Amino acid sequence: MTDARGAAKPEQATIAVEYACPSTQPDVSGARVLGIVEEQDGSPHLTYLAGHRPVDEAVLKLAEPMRPTEVFRFAGTCMSSQCRHFDGADCQLASRIASRLTEVVSSLPACTIRKTCRWHAQEGPDVCLRCPQVTTNFDLEDDAMRDLAGMDPAT
Ligand code: SF4
């Protein structure tokens, strides 16, 4: 194909966006520490890491004897259609968080993955104001949390 001057035009590239999942397991592709799960007013509250910290043995060891997801929240490559939360277009977990949870901060957390975060790309700032209370690890007997995670009740 040529342009108006007869010069060859470059092939149009298809740019595929690779989104980041902000609540994932430490063994997924591209896993990094998003933050540390702390407590605020008796509830979990994420303190976001300021820099990039990939997951390695040293990070996993820091969490012992607890599970890594009890101490940290990890971000990694969004698995899209391989994830049970993805309905083919949207992350339903992000939708539930944005529509059901209350805001826990009044301004956007200083989060390092916002440019590629699947939740933010889909739900915008509303989900960020609710994001710090989310933990990857939760009580499997808690039906409200199971519902938020898209699971059937425990009983
Ligand atoms: S604060 Fe917003 S951009 Fe950062 S991980 Fe949470 S939802 Fe994504």
Tens-digit pLDDT profile for residues 134-148: 999 988 999 999 999
- Predicted pLDDT of residue 55: 97
Per domain, the residue ranges of the chain are 20-148
Query: What string of H, E and C letters represents the secondary structure of 35-88?
Result: EEEEEECCEEEEEECCCCCECCHHHHHHHCCCCHHHHEEEEEECCHHHCCCECC
Q: What would the mean pLDDT of 30-47 be, rounded to a whole number?
A: 96
Does residue 3 carry a pLDDT above 70? no
- Predicted pLDDT of residue 155: 77
pTM of the model: 0.88
Nearest CA to ligand 1 atom 1: 128
Does residue 16 carry a pLDDT above 80? no
Nearest CA to ligand 1 atom 2: 128
Q: Contact 55/74 with Cβ under 8 angstroms?
A: yes
Q: Which of 12-26, 44-58, 87-101, 103-117 has the lowest mean pLDDT?
A: 12-26
Residues with CB under 6 A from ligand 1: 22, 109, 111, 113-114, 117, 119-120, 127-128, 131
Does residue 2 carry a pLDDT above 90? no
Rounded to the nearest whole angstrom, what is the distance from the C-alpha of residue 18 to the centroid of ligand 1? 15
Tens-digit pLDDT profile for residues 93-112: 999 999 999 999 999 999 99
Question: Is the C-alpha dihedral spanning 133, 137, 142, 145 positive or negative?
Answer: positive
Q: What would the mean pLDDT of 35-61 be, rounded to a whole number?
A: 97
Question: Which atom from ligand 1 is nearest to the alpha carbon of 22?
Answer: 5
Q: Confidence band (pLDDT; 50, 70, 90) for 13?
A: low
Question: Which atom from ligand 1 is nearest to the alpha carbon of 125?
Answer: 2
Rounded to the nearest whole angstrom, what is the distance from the C-alpha of residue 119 to the centroid of ligand 1? 7
- Predicted pLDDT of residue 17: 76
